[in-house]
Amino acid sequence: MSRRTSIFLTAFGVWSWVIWITFAKNLWDSDRAWAADGSPTGYFIVHAVLTVVSFVLGTVIGVIGWRGLKARRRQSA
């Protein structure tokens, strides 16, 4: 994997966490996320699942990029 690709994947992983943490905070505070009795709505559940999947994918992609960077450093040493 090229250095450029590794940097891109690592940056994507970090960016994904920044974006989805912000989204999760906004989701939690959303009026549409909670029913009048305090239970989560379908809107909340769907978007919470989307957020968790995005965290997992962002982490996996970031780790792949980070490992690519480490491998390139070992090759050049």
DSSP 5-54: HHHHHHHHHHHHHHHHHHHHHHHHH-GGGB-TTSPBPHHHHHHHHHHHHH
Q: Which residues pair with 34 in a beta bridge?
A: 40
For residue 21, name the pLDDT band (cuts at 50, 70, 90): very high
Query: CB–CB of 6/68 below 8 Å?
Result: yes
pLDDT for res 31: 93
- At 61 the pLDDT is 98
Q: What pLDDT, in 10s, does the model give residues 28-77?
A: 999 999 999 999 999 999 999 999 999 999 999 999 999 999 998 888 76
pTM metric for this prediction:
0.82
